[in-house]
Amino acid sequence: HRTGCLVGCLRKLQRWTHTSIFDEYRRFSCPKSRSMDQQFIELFDASQVWKLVDRDHLPKWEEL
């Protein structure tokens, strides 16, 4: 479920909790939910992405 993984990683960038991320993932990926997808999201290191981001072009997320 590629879209679910992408959205899950985006939620990590938005600093959602793992519980909320996985709840949303399961809600929209059912019946194609995969534990490996959830593991990928859990292990995704958002800090590596932030090193590459030009912060002048970020959306105005409240958490940032």
User: pTM for the full model?
Assistant: 0.78
The answer to whether residue 57 scores a pLDDT higher than 90 is: no
pLDDT at 53: 81
pLDDT at 30: 87
- Assess contact for 24 and 11: CB atoms under 8 A: yes
Average pLDDT over residues 48-58: 83
Residue found by looking up tokens 């519980």 in the block: 19
So where are the chain's domains?
Answer: 2-45
Task: Give 19-50 pLDDT, tens digit per residue.
Answer: 999 999 999 998 888 999 999 999 999 889 88
- Assess contact for 28 and 38: CB atoms under 8 A: no
pLDDT at 63: 57
